[in-house]
Each structure stands twice: as structure tokens, then as C-alpha cells.
Amino acid sequence: MARAFAPELLERLRAAKHVAVLTGAGVSAESGVPTFQGGFWGKYSPEEMATAAGFRKNPSLVWNWYGERRRELANVHPNPGHYALAQLEQRGVRCTVITQNIDGLHQKAGSTRVIELHGSLLRAKCFSCEAAAPAGWEQATQSPPPCAVCGSWLRPEVVWYGENLPPKAWDEALDASCECDLFFSIGTASQVYPAASLPQEALRAGVPVAEINPDYTPLTAAMTYVLRGPSGQVLPELLAATWPK
């Protein structure tokens, strides 16, 4: 049986000029990427793999672990949830995708306005001076290569615990959240800040917010709409219900 959506939500989506979407690891789960709470770190801990202290302690281990994650992405494909978000643009909706994911799958699916809050597995930068990595950095599979500017190590350009979000990405995300007509929070446990504050900022600005997740989150009770289920199913069904053939 087809899922029932609140008619008012469908109306709002149909009329929306600008939709902002916050995505988390759950959006990529159906592509086979483990969520952070579902095994992403493998046998390691976030302290070892996702802090500056962990990198200083064992730069080669960390560099190679991210390299493996990056190489795995070659065989990872967007799922119907990613494609549905990209299709919103084809419907003439301006869709700002604010993602906490570092896998590049929204771009692979065709979304053109993607804000990466937590960086990307596909880029590297200097650990000290933050200069962008020179071409060919991906070839280094033993230890992090040196920065061409200052000689320090290169590191993955992902945001680690205790680090600030890229300021431009954050400013753009906040603006989009407060200026859009409809906000979706999809596949995120809503536990890591400041990202988890974006749906709350949208609500404060008077924007209706819909959560798509198979589970409850700390923000579920505050949501305008709650769509329970995997995003790879819910999003295509939502588009089909909004724009029936």
C-alpha cells in the first residue's frame, strides 16, 4: 500500500521555491556506507581516527585508513534517496543540500547546490597551514606526503572532533536553513552540533521542518512532519505523491 503523506506537506513541497535539506549518514546507508553509529569507524575509535591528537600519534595509520575509505567510494553509488533530491532541481525547485557526509554521493547523483559541513574524503589539506593538497596526493598510500608550502603533513580534509566547521559552509547553511520555504532533516541522528542546530534554526525562523528517519531522534518531537522510514524509499514516494503522473 502506498505511504500516506500529510496533504499539507505535499502542498508545501509543490509550492516551494527553495527547499533546504540537512543530510546525515543514514542517507548513504542504502548505498552500503556504514553510518557512524553503525560501524563506520570499524575496529577503531573516533578518538583515534577523527581527532588531531589521533593523527599526531599515528599519522600513517590515519592517512591510510581514510585512503581506504576513499578508494572504497569508487564502488559506491548513489541510491534512490540521493537521486530524488537531485530530481527536485529538475522540478525547478532550488534545493540546497547541506550534508554532514564526506562521501560525495549527492554530487554523484546530480545535486548541484551541495554544502559540505564536515569536509570530504575526496580532498586533502595541510595539517599545519591548511594549504590545499597538490595534484597527485591520492597516490601516497604509505604515509601522508609533505605539504609543498610548509613541509608539514597532509591530512584528509574532513572535520574532526574539536575542530570548527568551514566558516563559509556554515554561514551558507545557516542562511539557507532560515530562508527556505521547507526544510528536511534526513538520515541524521541529530546529536552532533552545530549541524543539529540547523533544523532548530529553521523552525525558529518559521520554516516547517520534516524529518525522514526510520528511528526517533532527539529532535523528532519538535518536527512539523515526521516521515518514518528509510530515505531511499520515503523520498521517491514523496516526490511521486507530490507530482503524480
Catalytic residues: 118
Q: 121-147 burial, b if ≥16 CB within 10 A, otherwise e?
A: bebbbbbeeeeebeeebeebeeebbeb
* By the rule CB under 5 A, 129 interacts with Zn ion: yes
Helix (H, G, I), strand (E, B) or coil at 138: helix
Amino acid of residue 20? A
| Crossing angle of helices 80-90 and 231-242, rounded to 10° | 30
Minimal distance in Å, beta carbon 122 to ligand OAD? 15
Of 26, 54, 156, 199, which one interacts with ligand OAD (CB under 6 A)?
A: 26
Helix (H, G, I), strand (E, B) or coil at 217: coil
Question: Applying CB under 6 A, which part among 67-75, 139-147, 200-208, 212-220 lies near ligand OAD?
Answer: 212-220
* By the rule CB under 6 A, 20 interacts with ligand OAD: no
Of 126, 133, 159, 186, which one interacts with Zn ion (CB under 5 A)?
A: 126
Minimal distance in Å, beta carbon 110 to ligand OAD? 19
Determine which helix (DSSP H) or strand (DSSP E) holds 225, and give its type and residue range.
Answer: strand 225-228
Rounded to the nearest 5°, which phi and psi values hold at 145? -70, 165
Pairing mode, strands 94-99 and 114-116? parallel
Question: Applying CB under 6 A, which part among 8-16, 21-29, 58-66, 200-208 lies near ligand OAD?
Answer: 21-29
Of 52, 61, 131, 241, which one interacts with Zn ion (CB under 5 A)?
A: 131
Of 13, 19, 21, 29, which one interacts with ligand OAD (CB under 6 A)?
A: 29
* By the rule CB under 6 A, 100 interacts with ligand OAD: yes
Minimal distance in Å, beta carbon 170 to Zn ion? 23
* By the rule CB under 6 A, 215 interacts with ligand OAD: yes
Minimal distance in Å, beta carbon 142 to Zn ion? 19
| Separation of alpha carbons 204 and 42, rounded Å | 37
Amino acid of residue 164? N
Number of residues that bind ligand OAD (CB under 6 A): 25
Q: What angle do CA 168, 98, 44 make, to 5 degrees?
A: 95
Binding at 242: pick from Zn ion, ligand OAD, none (beta carbon under 5-8 Å per type) = none
Of 25, 85, 109, 173, which one interacts with ligand OAD (CB under 6 A)?
A: 25
Helix (H, G, I), strand (E, B) or coil at 76: coil
